[in-house]
Amino acid sequence: MKEKLARLKTTRYYGFLLLAAMVVFFYAVFKILTPDNFGSPEHLLSYLQSSIIYAVGGCGLYFIVVMGLFDFSIGANVVFSSIVGVICSEHFGYAGFILGSLLCATLIGVLIGFLYNTLRVPSMIVTVGLMLIFESIAVFAAGGSKQTLAVDYRFFSAPPGSLILAALAFILMWFILKYTRVGTYCNAIGSNEFTAKNMGIDVKKYKLLGFILLHFFVGVMAILTVSYGTTMTALTGMSTMSRNFKPLMGTFFGVAFRKYGTPITAIVVGEFIISIIFNGFIALGAPTTIQNVVTGAALLMIVALTARGRKGSVVK
Amino acid sequence: MEKNILLRAEHIDKRFGITHAVNDVSLTVNAGEIRGLIGENGSGKSTFSQMLCGIYTIGGGTFTLNGKELHVRNQVEANDAGVSIIVQETGTLSGLTVAENIFLGHEKPFIRHGIKNTPAMNREAQRLLDEYGFGRIRAGMMIDHYNFEDRKLVEIVKATYMKPLILIVDETTTALSQDGRMELYKIMDRTRADGRTVIFISHDLQEVLAHTDTVSVLRDGEYIDTVASADMTEDDLKRLMVGREIGSAYYRTDWGTPVSDEVVLRAENVTVPGLIRDVSFELHRGEILGFGGLSESGMHEIGKAVFGASWDRTGRVVLADGTEINDIPTAIAHSIAYTSKDRDNESVIVNETIRNNTVLPSIEDLAHGRLLIKRELDRFAKENAEKMQTKMQSTGQFVSDLSGGNKQKVVLARWIGKNSDILVLDSPTRGIDVKVKQAIYALMQELKEQGRSIIMISEELPELMGMADRILIVRDGSISGEYLRDPNLDEETLIAKMV
């Protein structure tokens, strides 16, 4: 029995089980505390809708976080790419909206990856610098005014459109991780870059590819974000920074559940759990500060329980 | 022995900074033989083999395999050329499945139009694992779920499934249980039977003699000889390994000087799971206590355990006043100093200045109230750097710019400045030149005369015999022998307790 349990703990089913248990736990807590304002099927769909937007970004971030890199510019890219998408939609319709957002976001990924490889400075520094630049360019592109997505192009603003697009992104992520070398090599680089190089892996190329993939997913996130909110305002002064953290929380779940072979499910469900917690507090009428405290604490607790390092090991 | 030469190494050379790791080594290896490669720690065997398989770039000379010059830049290119290696350390990567590890860098057969056929890769990996008799390891599982030995078995499959012309087994057996070893020996025998070659590196001389046809010996990076295993005894091999002249002017010349009876530190049943067990000893005032053994014997962990740096240590480390040392701050507060074997990662902060490295443990003593005055820190660092004759432009120079020897001087200056009474020096002269060695030995002598006590952990037997008042030999995590300072003590006696 003990052996069976130990074996189960190494399978993806255990990962699914843990995630499901967490969903049930947090749902039950808020449902008990505020049965009328929380957790109806309509509510759950709404939580899911907001969480999948961040989950798409979280999937993109996974490629670079497993390599030990970081990107502070994704919020700025979401704003910039969605503004470009909205502007393009005015001239080329849906094609302009989708291609404009995706192309803009992906090119930003190319630029970040290129600069990271060329400048040889930490990814955090490169992306903070570029965040400031992208924020300013976005203001310039928007002409200082709020950009509104025309009613004709809001298929992705609600289900089924938003769910279809997000599902396509998740399938793409699953395909890349399972059926291409990229996922394997990103993990290998993150595990031991020196050994990865010795295995003939072109580390620079795969880091560049990691940034490109990340920002392609950010492009999808931009489409979903501006569709969901219908407008986008460009702001400067690092105001896009806060947009980085919700996708990152999902990525933490993904990295934590990587050992069970369920990173994508963990990203999606992780974002859903965070959405449940946020909305649970809103239902309770708690102030935003309290919501942030408890969400942060819940995230720390979950990641500590699932992904903490061995005692005595160096954790950075 | 009418055999074809498979590998020809000509004038192979490699330097790491000032350390001449492999010095003009030329040898040949025949097809269809198992060649042992032995030598003391630091003799250059691993560096030699890692150049052969592309982990290190070749410093000088050429390898010719099957008549063709080798120019490999990494392990995958070496594999393609017919050379593979099972390394000493963990060679598998976390975050990947077993199958991904086995085929890392060799995914091509499973990729069509850029799409990886993961099920086919898993199936092939499982087939190989089953064929090798490691069927309980599941190809689709994450490697993280397996222990060190199982991961070594995966590495064996990874290194041998493509049937390399030369298989290098670099001190792998210590990581394996008896069953695992037997499997590895079978693979080595099969490789020889196929007319291919194994280069087998091990410190276990009995094992080397039992499983090799010939043995090549390296010493201090130089090629010494190649001998037929059947004609050799363990003692013969030891003589070849150790055969240099012992004794140099820079070691201590006093013999029979009594050591104080006063015990300053006592280790009682110190155990660190998997590394050392039930280690007990006493350190006396003014004593240089040497610890010797093979690199993986656990002796390096003893230094950490004394300094309170082993997180899962059991047993006690007690000072004369009854203070128990269980953590680093307590150790430092009670005048214990520690220099690690891994100088760059555990002793110095390479991207910091000499000043900041030197003042680190003395910050509290140098602070005026809560303020640090730069002039004071500079004075302290300069004074101690000068004591150590550190070659530097100024104390503001970054440690990363210094040679290995001068980095070690910075580490020692730090503890000299702290006026530590007990110094735990792990491999204090590792990778440094004779002149700096001489300075460090002189300093140790001076500290001893001042009544300070030193624990010196070293893989170099001559320095242990030359400097220590007493030598404890560590084997498999336990103390296997104790020797007092004696001019008649020889390396062979110590080696007999080490292997």
The pLDDT-based confidence of A187 (bands split at 50, 70, 90) is confident
**Whether A10 and B145 lie within 8 Å, measured CB to CB:** yes
Please tell me the distance in Å from B111's CA to the nearest CA on chain A: 8
Partner residue opposite A259 with nearest CB, options B74, B114, B144 = B144
Rounded Cα gap, residues B192 and B321, in angstroms: 61
- For residue B142, the chain A residues in CB contact (below 8 A) are 10, 258-261
Which positions ≥6 away from B166 have C-beta within 8 Å? Answer: B6, B7, B29, B52, B65, B82, B83, B84, B196, B197, B198, B199
Q: What is the model's pLDDT at position A10?
A: 74
pLDDT digits (tens, 9 = 90+) for B224-249: 999 999 999 888 887 888 765 434 45
Percent of chain B past pLDDT 90, that is, above it, reads 52
Nearest residue in B to A184, CA atom: B96
Between chains, do A199 and B111 touch, taking CB under 8 Å as contact? no
| pLDDT given at position B175 | 67
What's the pLDDT at B319?
Answer: 96
According to the model, what pLDDT value does residue B247 have? 40
CA distance linking residue A137 with residue A80, whole number of Å: 8
Q: Are B348 and B408 in contact (CB under 8 A)?
A: no
* Partners of residue B312 in chain A, C-beta under 8 Å: 311-312
pLDDT in tens, B64-94: 998 899 989 888 899 999 999 988 666 788 8
Residue A129's nearest CA partner among A71, A83, A84 is A71
What is the pLDDT at residue B1? Answer: 43
Q: By percentage, how much of chain A surpasses pLDDT 90?
A: 55
Is the pLDDT assigned to residue B431 strictly greater than 80? no
Residues of chain A with C-beta less than 8 angstroms from the C-beta of B57: none
**pLDDT value at residue B245:** 44
Which residues in chain A have their CB less than 8 angstroms from residue B107's CB?
181, 184
Q: Looking at A41-55, A83-97, B339-353, which range is the least confident one?
A: B339-353
**Average pLDDT, stretch A212-229?**
96
CB contacts, 8 Å: A261 with chain B: 97, 142
The CATH architecture of the domain made up of B263-498 is 3-Layer(aba) Sandwich (3.40)
List, for residues B89-108, the tens digit of each pLDDT value.
667 888 899 999 999 988 98
More confident site: B444 or B175 = B444
Pick the CATH number of A14-302 from 1.10.8, 1.10.3470, 3.90.640, 3.30.160: 1.10.3470
pLDDT classification of A312: cutoffs 50, 70, 90: low
Q: Flag whether pLDDT at B18 surpasses 70.
A: no
Q: In what order do the strands lie in the sheet with B68-69?
A: B19-30, B5-16, B60-65, B68-69
Edge to edge, the sheet with strand B453-458 lists: B336-339, B422-426, B453-458, B288-293, B470-475, B478-484
Among A10, A195, A311, beta carbon nearest to B311? A311
pLDDT in tens, B167-180: 999 888 766 777 78
Distance CA A227, CA A156 (A): 6
Domain boundaries, chain B: 5-242, 263-498
Among the residue ranges A20-34, A56-70, A131-145, A189-203, the one predicted with the least confidence is A189-203
User: With bands split at pLDDT 50, 70 and 90, how would you rate the model's confidence at A306?
Assistant: low
Give the integer Cα–Cα distance in Å for A220 and A223. 5
Residue A188 contacts B, CB cutoff 8 Å: yes
pLDDT above 70 (res B196): yes
Which tens digit of pLDDT belongs to each residue from A234-274? Answer: 888 888 888 888 899 899 899 888 878 789 999 999 999 98
Q: Which chain A residue has the Cα nearest residue B158?
A: A199
CATH number of B5-242: 3.40.50.300
Fold match between domain B5-242 and domain B263-498: yes
Neighbours of A270 (CB within 10 A): 30
Whether residue B460 has pLDDT greater than 90 = no
Question: Which pLDDT score is estimated for B3?
Answer: 61
Task: Over range B253-272, report the average pLDDT.
Answer: 92
Query: A41: how many CB neighbours lie within 10 A of its CB?
Result: 7
pLDDT for A2 equals 67
CA distance B275 to B282: 20
Sheet holding B263-272, edge to edge: B276-284, B263-272, B314-319
Q: Kindly give, in sequence order, each residue whose CB lies less than 8 Å from that of residue A191, ignoring residues fewer than 6 positions away.
A: B93, B94, B95, B96
- Is A66's Cβ below 8 Å from some Cβ in B? yes
pLDDT in tens, B341-398: 888 778 888 778 899 899 988 888 888 887 888 888 999 999 999 888 887 888 888 8
pLDDT computed for residue B246 by the predictor? 38
List the 189-208 stretch of A: residues with Cβ below 8 A of B: 190-192, 195-201
Q: Is the pLDDT of residue B192 over 90?
A: yes
Residue B151, amino acid:
R
**pLDDT band at A192; cut points 50, 70, 90:** confident
Cβ-based contacts of A187 with chain B (< 8 Å): 93, 95-96, 100
pLDDT at A179 over 60: yes
